[in-house]
A and B are shown apart, each in its own frame.
Chain A
């Protein structure tokens, strides 16, 4: 379930006027920005952008960029873009990340979004960056990691509910053999994870657990320095239980010294209108602390206020 709270029929014209007022004079009225944008869904935000452009002959996005700064500016920028464009931007940032690409974003979007959603993101990526997502990923990675990430980003997976039980069993057995031989970068592992539908993969993973006693993820924790294994583990966890994956991302981002604001922003912004409420529940169960509380402790000022608004604070 989503956490975003928004009114049924706000007036885009009134919102645009209020935002314009927030930019006037010395400084910016961040509270006003948060109280409006923090309570509008994607359709409503798009209408505000259009109204603002029509009324003031100015791009709201550019104005916000110039008025704001820091983590607050980043979260507002990601929030005001159309969802597909925002996801394209997040992917591009992840690919260009130094010293090495942030594979988490690529893995998340390619495994958690359904094929049509992901295709829309790829189109937005091409439109904005004049390259395909696949060619940029390929250019910035090598070896096994490249095979896995390009392999996850390229296919247009079958998304029908049909699932072949016999096939799931045989592929679970294949995975078991490869795990035994410590051949986790084997072609067959990549083939199954990158080409099979999510339903089919989950069936195989379940069968693996049922017949071999442990989940395959237990065997993948061996080498934290190995980006490929880490990405593979992320992919499997994301396919199996997306909300649990997101909880872990948030938990690590909030606990590390020098909070990882980019990761927090990404999760909150991309899931606020989808399943952030479920993620909140899992977070509480796992950490005995409410997510709102943890975010309150680790972030500050307008950035914090905006995140809390998206989390459902009135």
Chain B
């Protein structure tokens, strides 16, 4: 490979998600001091010219690099963990290092009743508090009531629901939304319906809402992100996860948008990743694997692609 090409490959090995370990070994491993110096002098965004005449590695880039080296380790640890511990730790992080409402909604609403209960048990063991009390204590915004309600839920999962009740609750939601309150997530009836009803019941409410108003409930809640996410996670999680992946893969997001890629693939690999792949393809025109090839590197990339391919073998 020509040296200039090597510079390009090396730069790519350092950018994107994860690091391209093989390229780093094969290229850096054989470079002599003059090659390294040449690389340092020409790669302006990684190295800066110091006033005392040497090329200094930009601090922020080293930190970012550290994060990228750890990305594979984080994926492996998350994948191997018991789902209860995994969800308990994700919940904890979402409360204490954020707060990240999206993740709280995601875990509370996309897990089954027993899975969520398990996560709450694990939380007791790990942190000697309940997640309910920690959220209630640490979150002070108006979203608190909704969040505590969602994470406390132990929803009925049987096949029965009341068609008439679902119709009337769709109507209630329609009216509350029409009244246009600013803090819709504080409205008593919205909180009641979304935090206590079974998922099957809510899907019926969703259906009646569309039939009577002509719109999709999650779209009408577009101005209230937390409610939109709640409805999506409860009624059609594939749509929610597809949107999260889309943002994450566009590569422009903050750190936690990038972490979303690992989280979604690892937590959905044995659940509904196949559906998510289809919907992602439908939304973006690309296959998920294609996008991951583009923006991820090395072991991290290979690990994700392997997880994604699992579903395909079960055909």
Contacts and interface: CB of A to CB of B under 8 A. Distances in A.
A129 B75 CA distance: 42
A154 B131 CA distance: 12
A146 B197 CA distance: 15
B128 A155 contact: no
Interface string A191-213: 10011110000000000000000
A150 B150 CA distance: 12
A195 B154 contact: no
A95 B81 CA distance: 41
A122 B196 contact: no
B136 A158 contact: no
A277 B117 CA distance: 35
Given A142-B188, A154-B149, A156-B132, A132 B156 contact: yes
A154 B128 contact: no
A191 B137 contact: yes
Contact of B197 (A122, A135, A150, A160): A135
A138 B145 CA distance: 14
A142 B189 CA distance: 9
Given A195-B130, A196-B133, A154 B152 contact: yes
A61 to B, nearest CB: 22
A139 B161 CA distance: 14
Contacts of A191: 133, 136-137
B132 A155 contact: yes
A157 B154 contact: no
A131 B156 contact: yes
Interface in A164-221: 187, 191, 194-197
The listed residue with most A CB atoms (<10 A of its CB), out of B133, B137, B195, is B133
Contact of B148 (A131, A156, A195): A195
A174 to B, nearest CB: 11
Main secondary structure on B side of the interface with A: helix
A135 B133 CA distance: 21
Given A154-B149, A156-B117, A156-B132, A135 B156 contact: yes
A158 B149 contact: no
B295 interface: no
Interface string B124-162: 100011101100110000001100110011111110100
Given A122-B154, A126-B156, A132 B198 contact: yes
Interface in B187-220: 188, 192, 195-198
Contacts of A154: 132, 149, 152-154
A130 interface: yes
Nearest to A126: B156
Interface of B: 117, 120-121, 124, 128-130, 132-133, 136-137, 144-145, 148-149, 152-158, 160, 188, 192, 195-198
15 contacts: A126-B158, A132-B196, A134-B152, A135-B156, A135-B196, A138-B192, A139-B192, A146-B192, A150-B149, A157-B132, A158-B128, A159-B124, A191-B137, A194-B136, A195-B137
